[in-house]
Amino acid sequence: MIVLFGVFLLTLMVITALAIVRTQHLFVAVILTGIFSLLMAANFFLLDAADVALTEAAIGAGISTVLFLGALALTGEHERVSSSNRLLALSVVAVTTLIVIYATFDKPHFGDPLAPVHQHVAPWYLERTPEVIDIPNVVTAVLASFRGYDTLGEVFVVFTAGIGVLFLFGARPRRKSGSPGIKVAEPGQGLRHYLIPRVVGRLLIPFILLFGLYVQFHGDYGPGGGFQAGAIVAAAFILYALLEGEAQALRVLPQRLLTGLIAGGALLYGAVGVAGMLLGGNFLDYSVLAADPITGQHIGILLIEAGVGIAVTGVLLSVFHAFAGRRRR
């Protein structure tokens, strides 16, 4: 039954993807991308990946749609039909699809417990997590502790992307040399004059923030962690900006503070690693942070997840403000 439901969802995803590519109205394409992400999140959930489903729902269906819409407002919504090499592209794509499908016949069947991917290091993680780290969520244990180096790298990629966007938008548009590069929208904007969205939105924001904190600090025990929580908290502030206008949101969380959050989150993660070295362990070895190694692991995971959450919130909000505050030309 669940397999059939999965097949149904996957088929819907293919249909949505085809519609996204075919439509010439970019607004429609972006909204369909949001639906695509939601279907993908449901699918991840069926595939036992609760953490990933939460991330995809918060980021793919939420933040990514907002960023694309922000970009559309600055670039225009219609796509011109002009593709000279359409047949060539179609044939390349068709041939490659067939080759990839041919390759899948060598893959172990869906859900096969004897597949090579389950034989290597994964059983070790599942076995050792209770004694070495002692938190229930193995995904968080692997993410934050066993493979903390990887996650540090990912945080620096997010950090770099955020800084990159800030640099790009620090430059002024060449043709309007008189106006400043980043211009905050007028205070009258937002949904201030619409009563129902405003009342409902203001009621929702505290609960979204609370849920964000829950996801952040409950990530050791259930699905969640810094990446998801960062996206959820950012979503709360984006909702606030949509309701009250760009300027008001920047008064609550000024850009200087957001830039501080980006750097501070990445620094906190790195600092935990260096603290481990100073206390006589290896880089990102949390066992030495407290007298008891398991308590040390808990403290380390709490701190680096906080660093991840802070950095992700800072980056997503900075990008949103960079797009939303850009003057339309």
Distance CA 226, CA 234 (A): 12
Distance CA 108, CA 92 (A): 27
- Give the one residue of 5, 128, 173, 194 binding other proteins; rule: CB under 8 A: 173
Distance CA 58, CA 231 (A): 6
Distance CA 206, CA 219 (A): 20
For the CB of residue 186, give the shortest distance to other proteins in the complex, in Å. Answer: 20
Binding flags for other proteins, 32-51, as an x/- string (CB under 8 A): -x--xx--x--xx--xxxxx
Residues 220-259 that bind other proteins (CB under 8 A): 221-223, 225, 227, 230-231
Nearer to other proteins, 231 or 289 (CB): 231
Stretch that binds other proteins, among 124-132, 200-208, 239-247, 249-257 (CB under 8 A): 124-132
Question: What is the distance of C-alpha 54 from the center of its chain?
Answer: 10
Distance CA 327, CA 250 (A): 16
Stretch that binds other proteins, among 4-12, 192-200, 274-282, 286-294 (CB under 8 A): 4-12
Question: What is the distance of C-alpha 227 from the center of its chain?
Answer: 6
For the CB of residue 226, give the shortest distance to other proteins in the complex, in Å. Answer: 9
- Give the one residue of 110, 188, 195, 203 binding other proteins; rule: CB under 8 A: 110
For the CB of residue 157, give the shortest distance to other proteins in the complex, in Å. Answer: 5
Distance CA 195, CA 161 (A): 37
The DSSP bridge partners found for residue 78 are 25
For the CB of residue 199, give the shortest distance to other proteins in the complex, in Å. Answer: 30
Residue 89 engages other proteins in binding (rule: CB under 8 A)? yes
Enumerate residues 6+ apart whose C-beta is below 8 A from 92: none
For the CB of residue 138, give the shortest distance to other proteins in the complex, in Å. Answer: 4
SS3 of 254-279: CHHHHHHHHHHHHHHHHHHHHHHHHC
- Give the one residue of 38, 42, 61, 158 binding other proteins; rule: CB under 8 A: 158
- Give the one residue of 34, 38, 61, 162 binding other proteins; rule: CB under 8 A: 162
Q: How wide is the angle at C-alpha 253 spanned by C-alphas 248 and 255, nearest 5°?
A: 100
Distance CA 73, CA 65 (A): 12
For the CB of residue 227, give the shortest distance to other proteins in the complex, in Å. Answer: 5
Residue 1 engages other proteins in binding (rule: CB under 8 A)? no
- Give the one residue of 28, 31, 35, 125 binding other proteins; rule: CB under 8 A: 125
Per residue in 47-81, is it b (16+ CB within 10 Å) or e — as a string?
eebebbbbbbbbbbbbbbbbbbbbeeeeeeeeeee
Nearer to other proteins, 45 or 192 (CB): 45
Residue 3 engages other proteins in binding (rule: CB under 8 A)? yes
For the CB of residue 220, give the shortest distance to other proteins in the complex, in Å. Answer: 10
For the CB of residue 61, give the shortest distance to other proteins in the complex, in Å. Answer: 11
Residue 80 engages other proteins in binding (rule: CB under 8 A)? yes
Residue 170 engages other proteins in binding (rule: CB under 8 A)? no
Nearer to other proteins, 107 or 193 (CB): 107
